[in-house]
């Protein structure tokens, strides 16, 4: 992926407990939020690894170790 297009992932829209209507929706907005949050954390961890690799490679290219 191109560095310019590999932006840090954005977290999902934060949902508060009071946003649930309490009518037993399936899926509930809180369930959807939790799933999106897990996916975000996975994407963020992968991005951080790529970012660390890019920085290490940039340091090697500059002669820094």
User: How do residues 25-45 score in pLDDT, each as one tens digit?
Assistant: 999 999 999 999 999 999 999
Largest CA distance in the chain: 61
65 pLDDT above the threshold of 60: no
CB 30 within 8 A of CB 20: yes
Q: What pLDDT is attached to residue 13?
A: 96
pLDDT band at 64 (very low <50, low <70, confident <90, very high): low
pLDDT at 59: 85
Banded model confidence at residue 1, pLDDT cuts 50, 70, 90: low
Q: What is the pLDDT of residue 60?
A: 75
11 Cβ neighbours under 8 A, 6+ residues apart:
37, 40
Rounded to two decimals, the pTM is 0.80
């Amino acid at each position: 992926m191109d560095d310019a297009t590999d932006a840090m992932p954005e977290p999902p829209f934060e949902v508060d407990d009071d946003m649930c209507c309490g009518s037993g929706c399936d899926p509930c907005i809180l369930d959807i939020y939790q799933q999106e949050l897990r996916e975000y954390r996975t994407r963020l961890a992968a991005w951080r690894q790529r970012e660390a690799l890019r920085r290490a490679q940039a340091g090697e290219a500059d002669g820094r170790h």
